[in-house]
Amino acid sequence: MTITRFAPSPNGPLHLGHAFSAIVAHDRALRDGGEFLLRIEDIDGARSRPELAAEFRDDLGWLQLAYREVAPQSARIASYRTAANELRAMGILYPCTCTRAEVAAAAVAHGPDGPLYPGTCLRRGPVPGPNAAWRLDMEQAALLAGTLEWTDERHGRQIATPEEFGDVILWRKDAPASYHLAATVDDAADGVTHVTRGVDLFRATHIHRLLQHLLGLPVPIWHHHPVLVESDGRKLAKRRDAPALADRRRAGEDGRAVAAEVRATLFDTGISLSDAINQQA
């Protein structure tokens, strides 16, 4: 059965860009008579506003998107810890006590997410403690995994190149798990068969594919959709003055009509794959 999910973080209200993403996931599941899930990704510490989750449910109902809600990330910390321990037992996680500024100052190259970690702590081996994050030893992990492939419904078969991210953090000191680890573990636990999300996350999939291999998790199909943008190129979801779905809902707008408009006019606009990769480069 086809299972998709919409996985918003309660860091701010949902906007039209989120509606688009939810509709892509919902309609993709429905096309196959499958199931559409809602997962609240609420482990972003200080930025998380749990009360927004109720708004998200109302927003999806207003858009007429039927969903089944699965456990929020805050209820799944133990599973992230288990996954991290598994990687640690394989000898491919190491503690890092560098500050963001230290990493930026010592970095000699940049990856898709910013300065590449220069491996300082891999060499000096700090004592793990509450102030340590845990990084993936990417070179060792890639050696263990060999060549990996993944498939995107819109963009075809891909060769995974997680090396371009360097030694990513998988266990944070300020939040339990990184997005990469949590989302990968969750999608497997929820039985997600088609991971739909914005093309701005296209390259992160290289890391997720590697983690799936290392953790022995099933490999889904991906569907990276365009990201809606304003005329000045800003992501619609990030525009501060764009009306939130909740505001439009409370103002009495017809959510079914809004969803119909999104389906009819917005599907092939926004950032394309090449735009997203050029922006990151």
Positions touching Zn ion (CB under 5 A) are 96, 98, 120-121
Q: Tell me the closest approach of the beta carbon of residue 100 to Zn ion, in angstroms.
A: 11
Shorter beta-carbon distance to Zn ion: residue 41 or 167: 167
Between β-strands 3-6 and 93-96, what pairing exists: parallel, antiparallel or unpaired? unpaired
CB atoms within 10 A of CB 281: 8
Cα separation, 93 vs 84, whole angstroms: 8
Shorter beta-carbon distance to Zn ion: residue 122 or 260: 122
Shorter beta-carbon distance to Zn ion: residue 121 or 246: 121
Q: Tell me the closest approach of the beta carbon of residue 94 to Zn ion, in angstroms.
A: 9
Q: Tell me the closest approach of the beta carbon of residue 108 to Zn ion, in angstroms.
A: 15
SS3 call for 63: coil
Q: Tell me the closest approach of the beta carbon of residue 120 to Zn ion, in angstroms.
A: 5
Shorter beta-carbon distance to Zn ion: residue 96 or 195: 96
- Measured N-to-C along each axis, helices 52-62 and 16-31 cross at an angle, to the nearest 10 degrees, of 60
Q: Tell me the closest approach of the beta carbon of residue 90 to Zn ion, in angstroms.
A: 20
* Nearest by Cα to 178 from 243, 87, 51: 87
Token output for 167: 């030694």
C-alpha distance across the termini of the chain, in Å: 37
Shorter beta-carbon distance to Zn ion: residue 150 or 165: 165
Cα separation, 107 vs 225, whole angstroms: 32
Exposure string (b/e) for 58-90, b if CB count within 10 Å is 16 or more?
A: bbbebbebebeebebbeebeebbeebbeebbee
Shorter beta-carbon distance to Zn ion: residue 37 or 136: 136
Cα separation, 87 vs 180, whole angstroms: 14
Q: Tell me the closest approach of the beta carbon of residue 219 to Zn ion, in angstroms.
A: 31
**Helix (H) or strand (E) run with residue 258 in it:** helix 255-265
